[in-house]
Chain A
């Protein structure tokens, strides 16, 4: 199943109307017709083009994983649970004051600040939690601005729309912090560079986040608004298992919701997502089960390796080996997500030969479906 000539009409019929849209933002930003607004993609007018980049770069339209992997890593798609990886580590920032502000160990903030300071990138497209606690894309151009983007709201955010908005003649080198679906979209762009947008070649660093699912920025936000005074919220957190909680920290303390209560607000598309660890990023970052204040880091490319090495040399990151139990557990979780998602996809398509957007080798598909 190849992409062929498809445009926004098919984007709606195949992705948006079927509940597959991840709100990554890849179809928005340059396009005057597709606009992200309050948790959905709105079509402002009919685009008459039969072939559109909106469809092409959507992480929920057909992706040949081998082709994409070849583009990013120079090898076919890895059958390993965590995808193509050079090294799995456990890191944390050496800056204790920073660690208080960040979600876990401050790896993302540290690496971005370093990349900016070293002129490795001129800016980074990140997610910033606005005053009303909705997540919105943000182009950070200094360490201070990077710090404004710490913490997660766990809600989907159309970060790629902000990249698309950068004028095409802008030559600044960019970093990107993205969810697995967004990393997939960027990988697609790297394979077939978009026209009339800032060069994808300018994206020098992709930091991918671990993700099991994201929450609907529309329905979950409504839920929060009804249950909390959002103006007082300082931080959201989903502590690693077996906590099974969604925690909200305010000045006066912590409010917890059972994860079961929160799960109904997850994006429907997350059920069909195979990627837990942002397999096409330069570096993937997540928490470490059972060890507070540290990040799991998967180094996937030379760029990623160089940056972590530099952080180590400059004393910005404290680096340790990831305990083998953690690694095993991470692999299990990642594999489980792949298996679950693929089975759900088959359930949705009603045909085990129709994996919707997922282009896997038959052998790997069979293995995951078994």
Chain B
């Protein structure tokens, strides 16, 4: 991550969108930042935490998004500017608090929520569009169209939040969050921050300072007044602008990274003098006057936005309210089918939409050339599906789970959760995970399955959850299982890292976001305190792990916990050398013959093992192998040999 605390106003720095947002927050003088890691949002808090000591601010990885938002609100209540950032899924986690926070209003410190959405769900379980929550809960919402705006908008949002007395939200998407561009820096504030929660009997105010959502109708009324004020501010915002001719054949209305795609598309089609682009930076409340001023630019409106038809529907509502004599534009977008209401957009898709509407024939590139280029690019890529890393303890855990379930023979079911181990839905985890939804849902779903005995259900139930996810959202589900006596085993895959999002610390790691040592919240002590059966296994001890799982499945009797403890291989490999040198004895390896049928390269699938087609034998890929030695215990012929290094 780049240093975001460079004190060089006026200079340009190459920043990813997330760093630009973090820089904007620093320039706004925040004192408090909290987040739960989640791609594509993680670098916001990551870079703030890195700069925290230098800048005299506080940054934390919270246990989950709800706590992060609530903690940030606490800082705001005491007059400190605060930020909470999260990926789109986190918005759902925090929504209950938000629905009350908008009513109570914020404190004297501006409070900003950053949501990084992930169209196409590149690193997510879904591609939920979080913009509608702004409309749903009455939250002023902005979305940057480039990196400079990411910084500038964030900074401005703190002023706006304080002026309105309400939470403000910035929505970003993967291609802004993770792409890199030049950002011109502003001043870093030098003032000392002072936190204070106003006293009940304060000479300056008649009413005590209290943050609460009641009386609800009255506060709701006030909130609408705040939103009207926000709309007024948005009408004149420089983040909204129009580019194009005075009279256009087509008017594109867009926001966010789609602003970039739209510009590229118009340029590629050389339609600068026929197609206009209305770029919106402030999305909610809709700057209706500003939009209204541009609506007569064309009879045809094309909405280019990811994912939901948020602007499209909102402008439709707005147009429906225009006087009867007003011109009625034709709407093109998701409803008309010209733009997908799913998946990321890109310049090609925008070109296609424009071409269809305007009846143009446009071929971005020769089809034959395209096919050749794709084939050539693929020729250099090794054939590999999504996989756990070589040496990953999860592979061992799922191997043990698979074998234990098969030996048990009752058709046991594994419910899954969010993390690297979600990949166990596929071949790398032997297709063991059968459900995957949101953080903590695996244990929740297991609670239901584990209570179906009266309906003849006798399949063992295993809920797998990562260590970070355990602290985040699984503890209530476990308590429920213990209390309501639901028969399932919570299998905690404790690799001592929030591995999928980039090794952020969590309560089990003993380290804070700012690099300070802290108390380790022991998951086994916590589970034991519930009075339930807790086992700790080393998943690399396949035999022992399988035996433990079999015993726990056989014994029944309410929710239990099996902790699979082994450090993430990526973390270990950074600190230590490989423990073993591993090789395949070609004399002992029987390859595809009966008695093996390529167990290691057909079923076990560690990327450190490769199938030598010519020799008809397995061999170690020395570049990929991390020397964990697990495959030695998997090979039925004893053909894989490990030597301690």
Contact = CB atoms under 8 A, between A and B. Distances in A.
Contact of A48 (B402, B406, B409, B602): B602
A285 B638 CA distance: 37
A40 interface: yes
B530 interface: no
Interface string B626-645: 00000000101110000000
Contacts of A44: 402-403, 406-407
Interface in B579-631: 590, 592-597, 599, 602-603
B407 A196 contact: no
Contacts of B637: 30, 196
Nearest to B550: A37
Contact of B594 (A38, A43, A195): A195
Given A45-B603, A196-B590, A196-B637, A32 B403 contact: no
B409 A37 contact: yes
A295 B603 CA distance: 49
Interface residues on B, range: 20 to 34
A98 interface: no
A195 B595 contact: yes
Nearest to A31: B595
Interface in A41-84: 42-45, 47-49, 51-54
B383 to A, nearest CB: 17
A52 to B, nearest CB: 5
A197 interface: yes
B596 A32 contact: yes
B406 A196 contact: no
Contacts of B430: 45
A40 B409 CA distance: 9
Contact of A32 (B407, B409, B592, B599): B599
A330 to B, nearest CB: 39
Given A31-B636, A32-B636, A42 B593 contact: no
A31 B593 CA distance: 10
A196 B599 contact: no
A310 interface: no
Nearest to B402: A44
Contacts of A30: 595, 636-637
A332 B470 CA distance: 68
Interface residues of A, number: 23
Give the secondary structure class of A's interface.
Answer: loop
Contact of A167 (B409, B590, B596, B638): B638
Contacts of A49: 592, 594, 597
Contacts of A52: 594
B407 A37 contact: yes
Interface in B386-431: 402-403, 406-407, 409, 430
Contacts of A333: none
A196 B603 contact: no
The listed residue with most B CB atoms (<10 A of its CB), out of A38, A40, A53, A196, is: A196
A35 interface: yes
A38 B547 CA distance: 13
Contacts of B594: 31, 49, 51-54, 195-196
A196 B406 CA distance: 25
A164 to B, nearest CB: 9
A35 B550 CA distance: 15
Contacts of A51: 594
Given A30-B636, A196-B590, A196-B637, A42 B595 contact: no
Contacts of A42: 406-407, 409
A71 B636 CA distance: 30
B595 A197 contact: yes
Contacts of A53: 594-595
B407 A35 contact: yes
A197 B637 CA distance: 9
A201 B100 CA distance: 81
B585 to A, nearest CB: 11
Contacts of A38: 407
A189 to B, nearest CB: 13
A35 B403 CA distance: 10
Nearest to B598: A48
B441 to A, nearest CB: 28
Interface string A111-126: 0000000000000000
B522 to A, nearest CB: 34
Given A31-B636, A32-B636, A196 B593 contact: yes
Given A42-B409, A48-B602, A196 B595 contact: yes
Contacts of B402: 44-45
Contacts of A37: 407, 409
Contacts of A197: 595
A54 B596 CA distance: 12
A146 B563 CA distance: 41
A30 to B, nearest CB: 4
Interface of B: 402-403, 406-407, 409, 430, 590, 592-597, 599, 602-603, 634, 636-638
Given A37-B409, A42-B409, 5 more contacts: A32-B596, A35-B406, A45-B599, A45-B603, A197-B595
10 tightest A-B CB contacts, nearest first: A32-B636, A196-B595, A37-B407, A30-B595, A32-B599, A44-B406, A53-B594, A42-B406, A45-B603, A196-B590
